[in-house]
Amino acid sequence: MVLTPPTQLHSVGGLTGLLEQMRKRFGDTMGYRLVIYPTYAALDRPDPSDDRRILAYTYRGGWGDPTSSAKSSSDGPAPVDLSKFDVNAAVGIMRGAPQTLRMKPSDVKSTYLIVEPAKDPTTPGALTLSLYVSSDYGGGYIAFGGDGTVKQMSLPT
What is the residue extent of each domain of the chain?
A: 12-77, 87-154
Q: Please report, for residues 13, 79, 129, the alpha-carbon distance to residue 91 in angstroms, rounded to integers and kept in the order given.
A: 10, 23, 11
Q: What is the pLDDT of residue 74?
A: 55
Contact 72, 63 (CB under 8 A): no
Contact 47, 68 (CB under 8 A): yes
Q: What is the pLDDT of residue 7?
A: 83
Mean pLDDT of 96-111: 96
Q: What is the per-residue pLDDT across 51-74, written as a single tens digit (0 to 9) for each?
A: 778 999 999 999 999 987 766 555
Reply yes or no on whether the pLDDT at 104 is more than 60.
Answer: yes
Task: Quote the DSSP letter at residue 105.
Answer: G
pLDDT band at 108 (very low <50, low <70, confident <90, very high): very high
Provide the whole-model pTM: 0.91
